[in-house]
Each structure stands twice: as structure tokens, then as C-alpha cells.
Chains A and B, each alone.
Chain A
């Protein structure tokens, strides 16, 4: 079974631009979560999608958005990039049910650098 696939692996963007990151979950998994990882803040939860609906949301500004498609693939978008958005963005997939909560399987991440 293929794992979680994130594309691209590396991105360099300029301040003020926008960026879209993609995540394909494990086949059959319906939940996709996104995390931002930085040295200073650690792993911060962005949002979770389940069956094309946002089920959970972290404390990030509205510049961060996401969506999920009918095939469970997910994208996250960051508009008006700031230097502080430089981070490793991780996608995680889970089968989907809330009870019991299951472990998440992570992709290798997208390293975003904003210059």
C-alpha cells in the first residue's frame, strides 16, 4: 500500500506570493490533517478534513486554508506569504472515524522557504 505522498518536497517563494501544497493520503483513508513544523513552535495543527469537510481547525490566520476532494486528496493554500511561514508542512492521513482515534500516518513533508 502506498504511503502518504506530499508534493512538492521543496519550495522557495517570495514574500507576498501564494502557495499551494498537495497531499495524497493512504488509499482508503478519509481524514487528512495538516501540520506546520518550525524550530521555534514545534508541530502546530493547522486543520483536518474528513469527507471534504473541515472537521477541526487550529489557531492560524485566515491566510491558511485548505480543501479536500472527493478522492480524499487534499490541498492547503497559504496566501500573502510572510517570512515566518517558512516551515516544514506535514500532511497526515487516518482512516477517518472519530472513535476510537487512530494513529496518523505522515508524509515526508514539504519544505517551504519564503524569501
Chain B
């Protein structure tokens, strides 16, 4: 069973527009959720994490995500896209049912148009 689903393998926005990257998870226990960003030929950098505290999580570079248990979602948003946001974004879940390892979604490539 797919544990993390990212809707949209490619998302394109104009500079200054809202960024919305979607992530849905499946877990029978409260999960820990993460968003990572990857630039070409680089490793993954943590943007933000949800660890059962506040449901609205603020991360680096102006990104934030909201945990919605009823929708099993953890969508990533940024009010105003910048050219430097162009990268691939990964949602990940960690839970006891997965041995607490990080399980990643397929990734979403964000393109920012000038």
C-alpha cells in the first residue's frame, strides 16, 4: 500500500504566485511528516517537519504546511514563489508501522516562470 502520495509530478507557477504542493499519507497511527527539497545533483534538505505539536508548521524559505488528520493530508504552501524555489520536493512519512524509517513520496518538480 502506498504510504505517501504526492499529487502532480510537475507543478508550474508564475513568480509571485501561490505555491501549493499536495501530499496525502496513509498511516494507522499518528505519523511524523516531513517535506524535503532537492536541487539538481544535490542531497535532500529538510524544509519542515510535523511531530504532533502544532498542526500548522512553518519551515525555511517561507514554506509552511498544515497537518489535517481528517483529510490525511500535509500540503506544502508558500504565498509567493521565487525563482530560487524551482526544485524537486518530497513529502515523507515516518511511523512505527514502517519501522520508523522515512518513506518518501514520488516527488513533485516545481517550475517557476518569470
Interface set of A (CB-CB < 8 Å, partner B): 4, 6, 33, 35, 42-43, 45, 48, 55-56, 88, 90, 92, 98-101, 103-109, 111
Interface residues of B in 71-114 (CB under 8 A from A): 90, 94-96, 99-107
Shortest distance from the beta carbon of A20 to any chain B beta carbon, whole Å: 19
Return the chain A residue nearest B30 by Cβ.
Answer: A100
Among B90, B95, B101: residue with most chain A CB under 10 A: B101
- Chain B residues touching A, range: 20 to 34
Q: List 13 A-B contacts (CB under 8 A).
A: A42-B104, A43-B104, A45-B102, A48-B101, A88-B41, A99-B100, A103-B34, A106-B36, A106-B45, A108-B42, A108-B43, A109-B41, A109-B42
- CB neighbours of B102 from chain A (8 A): 33, 45, 92, 101, 104
Q: Could you tell me if A90 and B43 are in contact, using CB atoms closer than 8 angstroms?
A: yes
| Alpha-carbon distance between A87 and B95 when the two chains are bound, in angstroms | 27
- CB neighbours of A90 from chain B (8 A): 43-44
- CB neighbours of A6 from chain B (8 A): 43
| Alpha-carbon distance between A99 and B99 when the two chains are bound, in angstroms | 11
Supposing A90-B43, A108-B43 touch, asked if A43 and B90 sit within 8 A by C-beta, the answer is: yes
Given contacts A88-B41, A90-B44, 7 further A-B contacts (CB under 8 A): A33-B102, A98-B100, A101-B100, A104-B46, A106-B45, A108-B42, A108-B43
- CB neighbours of A111 from chain B (8 A): 41
Q: Could you tell me if A105 and B46 are in contact, using CB atoms closer than 8 angstroms?
A: yes
- CB neighbours of A43 from chain B (8 A): 90, 104, 107
Supposing A42-B106, A101-B32, A101-B95 touch, asked if A56 and B43 sit within 8 A by C-beta, the answer is: no
B12 at the interface (CB under 8 A from A): no
Report the tally of A-B residue pairs with Cβ distances under 8 A.
56
B51 at the interface (CB under 8 A from A): yes
| Alpha-carbon distance between A103 and B36 when the two chains are bound, in angstroms | 10
| Alpha-carbon distance between A99 and B96 when the two chains are bound, in angstroms | 9
| Alpha-carbon distance between A101 and B94 when the two chains are bound, in angstroms | 7
Shortest distance from the beta carbon of B63 to any chain A beta carbon, whole Å: 15
